[in-house]
Amino acid sequence: MKQSLIYFLVVVLLVLSCKEEETLVTGFNIDKIVFTEGSTLQVHEVTVTIEGEIHSPVPVHYEIQQGSAKEGLDINLTEGVLNFDQDQPTATFSFEVIGDNHFEITESCVVMMEYLGSQYLFPLEIKDDDALQPIQSDEEGFLTPDTYPSMQLKWADEFNATALNTTDWTHELGNGCNISLCGWGNNELEVYTDKPENIKLDNGKLVITALEQSGGYTSARIKTENKQELRYGRIDVRAKLPKGQGIWPAIWMLGENIDVVSWPACGEIDIMELVGHDPATVHGTVHYRDDVYKYSSGSTSLPSGDFSDKYHVFTIVWDFNTITWYVDNVPFKQFANSNIAGWPFNKSFYFIMNVAVGGNWPGPPDDTTVFPQQMTVDYIRVFQ
């Protein structure tokens, strides 16, 4: 009996020692996710490393899938099989990027790897390395084209109608007290109206006029909330700005979820702000929450004259990770995501245009301030 038991145990041990260890795949890593576009076709070799306990050959299907980067325009779609085994835990695939000489925003696509019914997705980012084209000009000032190679016009208002398009825009009225924001949160002095004396379309331009009336001030403020809300792209606004102590024109954006998360968690992008006592300088700013309120701001100044002399083009180029500000196609500020908690700038935003009077930043008008003051906007265009 004892000999039989020993014999049985020996057999069991032999069977267990001969049994092949199971392969367990827990995931994959890739060595590169950011690529530069270039001006010609670029073929990048990307290395994939398998993770887990690998004791047998592991064939993995992969394919490149479109995102904002499109087949035939930005990338070539490829697919195939990556083969891994115990002695070879890495494999490579080719990623083909189609280059050009046209400025574009950062684009992305996805490489999908599939093994035993499980899919693993990795975003691939293509950064443009082309400069903006030199700015154009006419007798009124600087201007930008209404088309760009490799980009499509998503939305625009050329202000060519006889009245403001209320399908896209809403007037904001009063002094903010009606929404429990007296002074619009900045101790501003104006009352916003929708009267023609404060806002009108004239000869293909939007004209917002700040006036001194009956010991107070009136102006106008419009927004695209719930009508035109956009995410990412190149945004061009051609405008001529007012000036004077206490005058505060702005072209800016707020996150569409402001009613849910409030400000500043919704995010704010100030495409252009000017304080009238410094009429040759404009500012670009973001406001956001990263556990606490934070902001990041930059500015640029004209070498001569000021922004009331003629039209200039105020531009941001906004992708999922970066916002860059330009005046007349010259960059002056960039803001990038550096592990910001609750990064708000990957959601849709709406536009606001206004001319404030007074407030915490510019201070009140004084005896040097001349009224009326006007911000004249030729167009706003969004390309993606």
One domain, residues 90 and 147: no
Q: What is the DSSP string of 72-108?
A: TTTEE--EEEEEEBTTB-EEEEEEEE---SS----EE
Would 5 be classed as within a structural domain? no
Would 10 be classed as within a structural domain? no
* pLDDT for res 17: 46
List Cα–Cα distances, 293 to 140, 263, 265, in angstroms.
40, 9, 8
Distance CA 109, CA 121 (A): 10
Mean pLDDT by 10 residues, the chain (384 residues): 54 47 89 91 95 93 93 93 94 94 87 93 90 86 92 97 98 96 97 98 98 95 98 97 98 98 97 98 97 96 98 97 96 93 94 98 98 98 96
Distance CA 240, CA 223 (A): 19
One domain, residues 143 and 68: no
Q: Which of 94, 127, 160 is the last residue of a domain?
A: 127
List Cα–Cα distances, 340 to 260, 307, 324, in angstroms.
20, 34, 17
Beta partners for 349?
230, 255
User: Is the separation of the CB atoms in 112 and 62 below 8 Å?
Assistant: yes
Would 9 be classed as within a structural domain? no
| Overall number of domains in the chain | 2
Would 252 be classed as within a structural domain? yes
One domain, residues 332 and 264: yes
One domain, residues 56 and 180: no
- The set of residues, in sequence order, having a beta carbon less than 8 Å from that of 274 and lying 6+ positions away, is 241, 243, 247, 248, 249, 250, 281, 282, 283, 307
One domain, residues 112 and 147: no
One domain, residues 35 and 95: yes
Amino acid at 99: G
One domain, residues 368 and 348: yes
268 given a catalytic annotation? yes
Torsion angle, alpha carbons of 171, 168, 279, 266, to 10: 90
Would 322 be classed as within a structural domain? yes
Query: Residue holding tokens 């061009």?
Result: 236
125 given a catalytic annotation? no
One domain, residues 320 and 189: yes
pTM, whole model, 2 decimals?
A: 0.85
Q: Which of 127, 153, 181 is the last residue of a domain?
A: 127
Stated as kind and residue range, the H or E segment containing 290 is: strand 281-290
One domain, residues 168 and 241: yes
Stated as kind and residue range, the H or E segment containing 5 is: helix 2-18
One domain, residues 97 and 158: no
Would 6 be classed as within a structural domain? no
**Spatial CA neighbour of 269 closest among 251, 244, 290:** 251
Half-sphere CA count of 237, side-chain side, radius 13 A: 22
Phi and psi at 191, nearest 5°, equal -110, 125
Distance CA 376, CA 357 (A): 16
Owning domain of residue 346: 136-383
CATH of the domain at 180: 2.60.120.200
Would 211 be classed as within a structural domain? yes
One domain, residues 75 and 209: no
Would 47 be classed as within a structural domain? yes
Q: Which of 107, 188, 229, 268 is flagged as catalytic? A: 268
Phi and psi at 54, nearest 5°, equal -110, 115
* pLDDT for res 106: 87
Distance CA 188, CA 209 (A): 16
Q: Which of 60, 94, 127 is the last residue of a domain?
A: 127
Distance CA 101, CA 82 (A): 33
One domain, residues 105 and 150: no
